[in-house]
Amino acid sequence: GRLYVNRVFHISAEKMFELLFSDSHFIRRFMDIRKITGVTSTPWQRDGSGCMKRTLNYTITITNPLVGKFSTATETQTLYRDGGEGQYYMVDAEVYTHDVPYHDYFYTFNRFCIIPNSKHKCRLRVYTDVKYKKQPWGLVKSFITKNSWSGLEDYFRHLEAELLEEEAELTQGGGDH
Ligand code: YK8
């Protein structure tokens, strides 16, 4: 896999989790810019094994000329956390893009770690991997992997840039952070 984001933000871990994993103003705006539409989400719910999970469905807009312009997607997020203040958050997300070529062969695994650095700072790490459900022919596999990496890199670079803007707004905004 690859590490796409690894940076300290002047944003508390709680706030970072809220920005990325609730129906926040920030993530709504980000999805708007990325032309991710029709977003539906289940609430965070405890599953049989005691983990908090939620499922999102949406339609993504694709800029890769090899692929159709849109695809529906399903993202299942699992939150791992010991609880209590000063704790890290770890969210694993499995993303299935249903309408791209070879969609039945692969999915994307994203791991978000939000680690408190101090009361008002956290480190965000995003690790991603392209996973295979069945083994395609070698050339096809490298084709899928290459095209997935470029799309993922673009997405997470943009997310990092928007988070930096949010950080600037939050730290300028009167110091009540
Ligand atoms: C989520 C991974 C692959 C896919 C795309 C498909 C290539 C098809 C390969 C053919 C377009 C928001 C991506 C990048 C679309 C966007 C997905 C996003 C960024 C040519 C063989 C959507 C995170 C996420 C996960 C997987 C990404 C897709 O929150 O290349």
Average pLDDT (150-165) is 97
Closest of 140, 148, 165, 114 to residue 5, by C-alpha: 114
Pocket of ligand 1 (CB under 6 A): 60, 62, 64, 66-67, 73, 75, 95, 97, 100-102, 108, 110, 143-144, 147-148, 151-152, 155
Share of the chain above pLDDT 70, in %: 97
pTM score above 0.90? yes
Closest of 91, 155, 152, 153 to residue 125, by C-alpha: 91
Mean pLDDT (the chain, rounded): 94
Share of the chain above pLDDT 90, in %: 85
Query: Which of 35, 97, 106 best tests ligand 1's pocket when mutated (most atoms within 8 Å of CB)?
Result: 97
Which residue matches tokens 């395609």?
136
From residue 138, alpha-carbon distances to 82, 98, 114, 133 in Å are 41, 21, 35, 14
Residue 29: what residue type? R
Q: How confident is the model at residue 177 (pLDDT cuts 50, 70, 90)?
A: very low
Q: 46-54 — which CB contacts under 8 Å span 24+ positions? A: 51/78, 51/79, 51/80, 52/78, 52/79, 52/81, 53/77, 53/78, 53/79
pLDDT digits (tens, 9 = 90+) for 55-89: 999 999 998 888 889 999 999 999 998 777 778 99
Give the residue whose CA is nearest to atom 21 of ligand 1: 144
Q: How confident is the model at residue 174 (pLDDT cuts 50, 70, 90)?
A: low
